[in-house]
Structure 1
Amino acid sequence: MNIQQSTPTTPLRARMISDMSGRNLGPASQSSHLRACKRFAAWLGRSPETATPDDVKYFQQHLIESGVSICTRNQTMTGVKFLLRVTLRRHDLVAEIFHLKEPVKVPLVLSKKEIKRKHQRCP
């Protein structure tokens, strides 16, 4: 599977694409993982091969503080996790990754009084 790229292929990117293809990841997952790793590398300012546990921790904090949604943050970290775990085999860094849970939205429940009041206002 060949991913269309506007980014030059580095040896690390080529290895990651090969690893994703070998694991039969679909085009959307591959694009998402590559985008996540590009974002991590841009934030890091150097190759992810040189990342430290603190870099991973601070990148996650950066995502949270920059206001990205929990879903986007988790998706980004899933891509970074693939790079670290599969391509780089850096399990020490993978251990630093955590996922956030989406808050459960509690449905609005009206009291009996509020229901009665609403029904009195309706024609």
Structure 2
Amino acid sequence: MTPLRQRMIEDMELRNLSPKTIKLYIDNVSRFARHFGKSPEVLGPEAIRTYLLYLVQDRQVAWGTYKQVLAALRFLYRNTLQRGEIVHDIRCPRPERHLPEVLSFDEVRRFFQAVHSFKHRTILMTAYAAGLRISEAVRLRVCDIDSQRMVIHVVQSKRNKDRYTLLSPLLLQMLRHYWWAARPDDWLFLGPSRVKPIAVGTVQQVCRDARNEAGLDKAVTPHMLRHSFAPALRGPFRRTGDRTRWVAGGADFFLPVRVLSRLFRGKFLDLLRQAYVAGKLKFPGQLASTVNSADFKRLLNRSVQTE
């Protein structure tokens, strides 16, 4: 391991990046260095620009891949090499906006009928009904299932944030049946060693096998299950089982606005701007200071222009 790689790993660990992110960044920086056959320490802005053009024009990588590469290079030059000026003027391109592919109710039914292991079916149903990433579902502990408040506690989710999501009565019933059969003590879904949780790759393979057996044309993944039903079932916000508070799938307060703008962005923002100009928008409490605010008007104009 080169001193530069070791130093970058240590810098990422100091910033509490996840092991998955650390590996992703290191792999991307390694590919960047191999492309030129030189250490990143001697490469500058023109080399980065050339490499990014290579990814876009020759490799035709997806926007998400491009973003990951850029994030890795930014971390390397800003934090490890302390040469942030090299990546200062490199901007991330406009994201491609695609609605996620989802399964119909009939496809979901056929898929789950093809999952024969009760444990695997319970894991996938948990991801489906609670809107969990598969990495979150496999790392659930018994204590994360709160049947009193009818919520699931998701610990150290994306960006190292905790959150709550809803626990439906049907899912709770299934989890109870699973608990009586498996009797887990700590990790809810144990792997073969019964010490560590089941591997994500195992669940992904179960998805592929069930998809083939069910004869589905779509490339079913655990993440597709997350998109297929839970968001529509829960809506942007929903009250908890004890009806005392509202929870969302994530920590984003403006999730309803994001959902609407994703589907009807241009029309939604144009009507919002018209309502603002006509004085029909009401701003309660501390938000009242934004009425007739030039900043708010500029924000609306800028949002419409990005459409």
Name the TM-score, length of structure 1 as normaliser: 0.75
- What percent of counterpart residues are identical? 33
Q: 1:104 to 1:16 in 2, by over 3 A?
A: same
C-alpha distance 63-96 of structure 1, shift in aligned 2 (>3 A)? farther
Asked if the contact 1:41/1:48 (under 8 Å) is kept, the reply is: yes
AA aligned to 1:60 is L
Q: Kindly name which structure, 1 or 2, has the bigger radius of gyration based on alpha carbons.
A: 2
Partner of residue 145, structure 2: none
RMSD between superposed Cα atoms in Å: 1.5
1:54-90 deviations in Å (ceiling 9; x for gaps): 1111111111012111110111110111011100011
Distance 2:71 2:34 in 1: 17
How far apart in 1 are the matches of 2:24 and 2:65? 10
Match of residue 54 from structure 2: 62
SS at structure 1 position matched to 2:93: coil
For 2:23, the equivalent position in structure 1 comes to 31
Number of residue pairs aligned between Structure 1 and Structure 2: 99
What CA distance in whole angstroms lies between the structure 1 residues aligned with 2:52 and 2:79? 19
After superposition, give the CA deviation of every residue in 1:15-66 in whole Å (9 maximum; x if it has no partner).
0011001111110110111011011101121000001111111111111012
CA distance in 2, matches of 1:53, 1:105: 31
**Structure 1: unaligned runs, 5 residues or longer:** 1-8, 108-123
Q: Determine the C-alpha separation between the residues in 2 that align with 1:95 and 1:63.
A: 19
Relative to its length, the structure with more strand (as a share) is: 2
Distance 1:96 1:43 in 2: 22
Determine the C-alpha separation between the residues in 2 that align with 1:105 and 1:15.
37
Kindly state the Cα deviation for residue 105 of structure 1 after the two structures are TM-superposed: 4.1
Matches of 1:78 and 1:21 in 2, distance apart? Answer: 16
| Distance of 1:57 and 1:98 partners within structure 2 | 11
Are 1:77 and 2:64 an aligned pair? Answer: no
Structure 1 residue 104, shift from structure 2 partner: 2.8
Task: Give a deviation string over 1:92-112, Cα, whole Å, max 9, x none.
Answer: 2111422122223486xxxxx
1:2-41 aligned within 5 A: 9-41=1-33
Q: 1:102: which partner in 2?
A: 95
CA distance, structure 1, for counterparts of residue 16 and residue 67 of structure 2: 21
Structure 2 unaligned regions, length at least 5: 100-262, 264-307
Q: Give the TM-score of the pair, scaled to structure 2.
A: 0.31
Compare relative contact order (CA 8 Å, sep 6+) and give the higher one, 1 or 2: 1
Counterpart-to-counterpart distance in 1, 2:61 and 2:28: 13
User: Following TM superposition, by how much is the alpha carbon of 1:10 offset from its aligned partner in structure 2, in angstroms?
Assistant: 0.2
Task: State how far apart, in whole Å, the 1-side matches of 2:29 and 2:98 are.
Answer: 31
1:93 equivalent to 2:86? Answer yes
Question: Which amino acid is 2:82 matched to?
Answer: R
- Answer yes or no: is the 8 Å Cα contact 1:52–1:93 preserved in 2: yes
Q: Tell me how far apart the structure 2 counterparts of residues 16 and 72 of structure 1 sit (CA, whole Å).
A: 20
CA distance in 2, matches of 1:31, 1:21: 11
In the alignment, the residues of structure 1 paired with residue 80 and residue 49 of structure 2 have an alpha-carbon distance, to the nearest angstrom, of 19
Give SS of 2:41's match: helix
